[in-house]
Amino acid sequence: MKRGLIMNKLDNVATVLDDVAAGETVTIRGLPSIVEISTLEEIPRGHKIALVDIPVGMDVVKYGFPIGYALTDILKGSYVHVHNVGSKRTEE
């Protein structure tokens, strides 16, 4: 079983606790209910997975706070990292 952890009920991403291959199921814990998500691509341990579809421009939320915004449409189960997340801090 591949594992993931969500930190806050407002989060739209979770952290995977194991290396995950495309097509594997990740069991996300940290909320009252357990969520299972199939990955669309490989995600390294310690990196983020999208819990929902995140449209371009929408905030990426972790720990209950925006940590960036989607540079492209990010589909549920996708790898969320610097290739598809921008930072408002670096653009100011």
Domain spans in the chain, listed from the N-terminal domain onward: 2-91
pLDDT of residue 29: 94
Q: Domain 2-91 has what CATH class? A: mainly beta
Q: E strand or H helix at 70, and its extent?
A: strand 65-70
3-state helix, strand, coil in the chain (%, to 5): 5, 40, 55
The β-bridge relationship of strands 59-62 and 79-80 is unpaired
CB 73 within 8 A of CB 51: no
Instruction: Check: CB of residue 9 under 8 Å from CB of residue 35.
Output: no
* 62's tokens: 């972790």
pTM of the model: 0.93
pLDDT, tens digit, for every residue of 21-72? 999 999 999 978 889 999 999 999 999 999 999 999 999 999 999 999 999 9
